[in-house]
Structure 1
Amino acid sequence: MKIARFRTNDGPDRLGRVNGDYLTDISDAPGVGTSLRTIVQELPSLMETINATNGARFALSDVTLLAPIDNPQKYLGIGMNYAKHAEEAAQAGIPIPQNQMWFNKQVSCITGPYSPIVKPGVSDELDYEIELGVVIGTSCRHVSVEDAHSVIGGYLVTNDVSVRDWLQNRSPTFTLGKSFDTHGPIGPWLTTADEIDDPQALIMQLSVNGEVRQQGVTDDMIYNIADQIAYLTQVMTLEPGDILATGTPSGIGAPTGNFLRAGDVVRAEISGLGAIENTVVAEG
């Protein structure tokens, strides 16, 4: 099932079940409401209700799609988790970590699947990173590798937008360079975990102005999704709605200096999950 947060004109935020080029409003169904983060833990038990709901029907082209998860507690990303990307990072002088390397993207960076990405005035090194986003479906701690997939609520497309000179030079941690406002577009909707047979076999592609910059398959991860969840939950409790960005394939702008400019259109697509598309605008 694919569930979107959306808005019509200036109306309130709603939830919709996506089918092809249309969505059906499910917000008034018993137990659903308008917050996907609130119900993500209950989705397995709500499936029958959601499928049976026949609310107002809208063409996707007639609504504004919003970031699927509203106000997550955590947005965590893993660095250099694709083998080919780690190789290109090393060529750019970035050392390859010997263990899983995690960082925070502050949740204030999150924006919608078709919202603008703002190029900050304090940098000319705005970069893109297509990543498979994992949304946690239940509160969990000390999860084994074998049980890790049972705590996943669903998947979405993310673009881990990065400000390279702040990331590598102006801050001792990744947090600032990863957390500028609008630098966390996610979506276009949540695809529930039951729809994805093998999340380690998804095809990823990112293009800028129609030119393909990144292509990869999620099986190139150094640490797979189960490894990531098991590692993180040794440290912290993951909560429903938390987002994990699981790494990016090769082709980022940093090694070549091919950074984003105002006016660029960035499209990130993952098989089975859909695509997000964001236009870069100059900070006003």
Structure 2
Amino acid sequence: MKLLRFGSKGTERPGLLDADGRIRDLSGHAPDFAGENVSLAALDLLREIDTDALPIVENPGRIGCCLATVPNFYCIGLNYTLHAQESGMPPPSEPILFSKATSCLSGPFDPVVLPRGSEKSDWEVELGVVIGATAYEVSEDDALDYVAGYCTVNDVSERSFQLDRQGQWIKGKSAPGFGPVGPYLVTADEVPDPQNLRVSLDLNGVTVQNSNTSDMIFGVRQIISYLSRFMELRPGDIIATGTPSGVGMGMKPQRFLKPGDVMEVEVEGLGRQLLETVAAR
């Protein structure tokens, strides 16, 4: 299933994309997509619905973030070999974990607002993993059994806030709109191998990131198992699994986002984002 949310911000309704590419209204069967409503059990119930009987949404308007809220927004840093090289850092010996504030969630076509004082806002296409069942101390062999689905994520990052200021990376990762997710939550059964997906980002029509999840240092199985050693993962948690090479910070000279820049962000099979950068008002 390809699940999505449509409507103006704050009044989105749940829907799904049918086999003909039409949006069907799921609001009679699901209150929204968040937490237990994207658990494996909840998704199994949605699979039993006769899709053809659902109302067609003729004019969906805005497509919102595919998740209404998330309990936690986890991220993995320096998780692609070439990205670690362009950052001038050795490949990590274990996953580098940080978080984004959940208030940064935004839709796949919403404007990305540069925060006041931003000097080095950057782009990062990533494969997002949505947890579908409580996971604690799970093995790598069993890890994918806890996945509800996958989505396209842009881990927008203000590098000056992230690296030049004291404290944790979360400061540079969490401005409102710095977490575009979607357009779809694609259920795990439609992604047979999360380690063989093209990930790409075009900036103003020029491809700057073009890689494959096979370049990950730590795969999805390893990441889930690793995180579950230290914390209980819960349904609706999202994990951004790292970005490939081609970020602005790694360019020579460095190139950062400015108002009017347009990002096209895609993970193979999970949908494409179109994001314009705007200045804070």
Q: Distance between the aligned counterparts of 2:211 and 2:242, measured in 1?
A: 11
1:46, distance to aligned residue in structure 2 (A): 1.3
Secondary structure, counterpart of 2:48 in structure 1:
helix
2:33 maps to which of 29, 32, 35: 35
User: TM-score scaled by structure 1?
Assistant: 0.93
Call closer, same or farther: CA 1:55–1:107 in 2, change over 3 Å.
same
Q: Which runs of 5+ in 2 are unaligned?
A: none
User: 2:82: which partner in 1?
Assistant: 84
Q: Distance between the aligned counterparts of 1:11 and 1:105, measured in 2?
A: 20
2:128 maps to which of 133, 142, 150: 133
1:112 maps to which of 100, 107, 110: 107
Q: Deviations over 1:210-250 (max 9, x none)?
A: 11010000000000000000110000000100000001110
User: 2:138: which partner in 1?
Assistant: 143
User: 2:163: which partner in 1?
Assistant: 168
Q: What amino acid sits opposite 1:27 in the alignment?
A: S
Secondary structure, counterpart of 1:86 in structure 2:
helix
1:180, distance to aligned residue in structure 2 (A): 1.2
User: 1:236: which partner in 2?
Assistant: 231
1:267 maps to which of 258, 264, 269: 264
Identity of aligned residues (%): 38
1:43, distance to aligned residue in structure 2 (A): 3.6
- Confirm or deny: 8 A CA contact 1:26 1:54 kept in the other structure: no
User: TM-score scaled by structure 2?
Assistant: 0.94
Q: Deviations over 1:154-195 (max 9, x none)?
A: 000000000011111113211101111110000001000000
Say which is worse superposed, 19-28 or 118-127, in terms of deviation.
Answer: 19-28
Q: What amino acid sits opposite 1:271 in the alignment?
A: E
1:10, distance to aligned residue in structure 2 (A): 8.5
Moved beyond 6 Å, runs of 4+: none
Q: Distance between the aligned counterparts of 2:250 and 2:9, measured in 1?
A: 42
Aligned residues: 277
Q: CA RMSD in A?
A: 1.7
Q: Distance between the aligned counterparts of 2:9 and 2:272, measured in 1?
A: 24
Call closer, same or farther: CA 1:37–1:197 in 2, change over 3 Å.
same
User: 1:58: which partner in 2?
Assistant: 57
1:100, distance to aligned residue in structure 2 (A): 1.2
